[in-house]
A and B are shown apart, each in its own frame.
Chain A
């Protein structure tokens, strides 16, 4: 096996992790500003075609008057996951979910930063790897005026690699080959998705019906190009060559040796390298949880229109999304309410793959313009 897999979850390991709870961490960051370049790169990397984010001339003509970043852009500032606390070397980490509360829009050229701290460590049995530990972290994002832009809880499940290999929960899964008919359907869905973006036509709260479905989005089949694009915007950026070597030597538990060349590689290569993924008990290179959250965000932002504001997005990254898999993003309105003058709509949003599995259950809340306030 490519990755070291003998490490166990021990009482000592858990106690060490618990001792880290509550302290603020200085962690590696990605971008620091919502420049037009950074926003455009980000949208390219998540496949977001919304002109409010990528067309400055369009954005200037909207009520908002300037280019906006999608709410999920914050993943390019700091990666909000429980694994950034480290601890338990050699025990694998899967980012498993985020619960976001959004308070402000992100406008072009906003300077963004945030604070990071682990807040809880919980023991659990998992089907995949037996004994497991969940680490919760809280990340608060600020802009240049020290306004809180958003807050999120991110959680990561830690499992023993050997246990997950032995249990082989995902063994039966192989890289999916799409038929020509399936690919025709995918391409048609992409064209339809771009045309379904609500944009400048306000979606009024009064016009939304409970039970209404959101136009679907399609993400996939996941391939190397999607991962490259993501690596260019991710808030936990990789490095190459000597720079990478220096960083890897500081964190040897997060590295492995390439079986062919012997060169040091980051464990993060489970997202590109099938061999590394297999030794973590996953049948192929798999996506990064953060990506799936950003994709799910487009289901909501495509639908809500320029004047809508996503106040909450909750998503669990459950089933693995491996190279060749396709994710169909869907949504359904579950409720409407008025809170302190805000006209809110609640919805379930989720991804289903070509195997018919719900890979990413989630829900969201959007604040919409009201006809009463017109």
Chain B
């Protein structure tokens, strides 16, 4: 059987961009990872993210909340279909980075739901980047529906397509922060990871929140191979052996030859193998964009408690996060408002690395309970 012809270091051409543009609006064929919301799927998802909130996985706990049954973390939808620009493919041999996501949530899926997704390429924009020169941003809109056909959430995802050779030659990220930690620093990180605050069943009322309040911190790190592996395994899934062989025959533009074994590896090995990451100008293997949005989701759900509802989340990747890096996920309340009777809190969210630089930036809108709510004509809140 002839070896597949690989395209690994292509340049961005007008024909390539035009061909990609022709896909705008054309329905895509998706390969969902999870279709059913089961306890198994939720447990695996939360293990991949490192989210120990009992609301997601403790059956008894959930019966004592208004959910009555385990809901999914909002970010669970990444395990159905990752809303990424490169769902649309195109530009064979040109690298793809997850650029960010805008999420709008209608309701929280729970155990027993079935979720389907549909996606369309909505825009293709050319841009200059300091990382790799000429680049293309492609936008994909994904709609998630439940078994009744009701919309559960909508997401926009964008991918930044860059030339691998150009990125490597420019070497913009050659000087990223070191992954060496003093024993004291490491102890402090472990201490923080061990004492994560979860609001849980203590209701966080809108009236108790002040502009400028901190959302606390969720720490992820130092990022080890197993952290990334567990995320990919449980949230996106992977194909092995004969199934992997079938994939590389279908998608020769998404594989490369491993320099050691000479066999085919998918480009997604940039998340695990130094040889792949360095081929795109990143010194060490790096975390996935989807993974980093999930970490911010973890921060927000810890803070808002079981009765809060994450209505919107927008996150942009600003710098890569590599193996060995530690991320502090943080946020602050920027504004409080009441809209259509809903008590909303606007927040800034971001994650920063061990040298203090921001690696993601975003905003979130959270709906909280109010002490002034009336139920059946009586004041049902605290006041």
Contacts and interface: CB of A to CB of B under 8 A. Distances in A.
Interface stretch (B6-14, B40-48, B130-138, B333-341): B40-48
Contact of B239 (A31, A44, A190, A219): A44
A263 B222 contact: yes
A240 B230 contact: yes
Interface stretch (A19-27, A66-74, A122-130, A179-187): A179-187
Contacts of A206: none
A180 B3 contact: yes
Interface stretch (B19-27, B61-69, B152-160, B256-264): B256-264
A63 interface: no
Contacts of A224: 229, 265, 269, 272-273
B219 A242 contact: yes
A41 to B, nearest CB: 6
Nearest to B232: A228
B356 interface: no
Interface residues of B, number: 68
A228 B233 contact: yes
Nearest to B47: A239
A120 interface: no
Interface stretch (A98-106, A134-142, A157-165, A229-237): A229-237
A242 B196 contact: yes
A178 B261 CA distance: 6
A187 B226 CA distance: 29
Contacts of A43: 243
A188 B36 contact: no
Contacts of A35: 36, 38, 40
Nearest to B48: A240
A86 to B, nearest CB: 20
A213 interface: no
B149 interface: no
Nearest to B227: A240
B229 A242 contact: no
A221 B240 CA distance: 10
Contact of B40 (A31, A175, A193, A194): A31
Contacts of A228: 229, 232-233, 238, 272
Contacts of B262: 177-180, 183
Interface stretch (A5-13, A148-156, A265-273, A307-315): A265-273
Contacts of A273: 225
Interface in B202-259: 218-222, 224-227, 229-234, 237-246, 249, 258
A262 interface: yes
B92 interface: no
A253 interface: no
Interface in A22-79: 30-33, 35-38, 41, 43-49
Interface of B: 1-3, 33-36, 38-41, 43-44, 46-52, 179-181, 183, 186, 190, 193-194, 196, 218-222, 224-227, 229-234, 237-246, 249, 258, 260-266, 268-269, 272-273, 324
8 contacts: A36-B35, A46-B241, A178-B261, A191-B1, A238-B229, A240-B49, A243-B51, A245-B193
Given A47-B242, A243-B46, 9 more contacts: A32-B39, A48-B243, A186-B245, A191-B1, A229-B233, A231-B230, A241-B220, A262-B181, A262-B183
The 3 closest A-B pairs by CB, nearest first: A47-B241, A241-B50, A232-B233
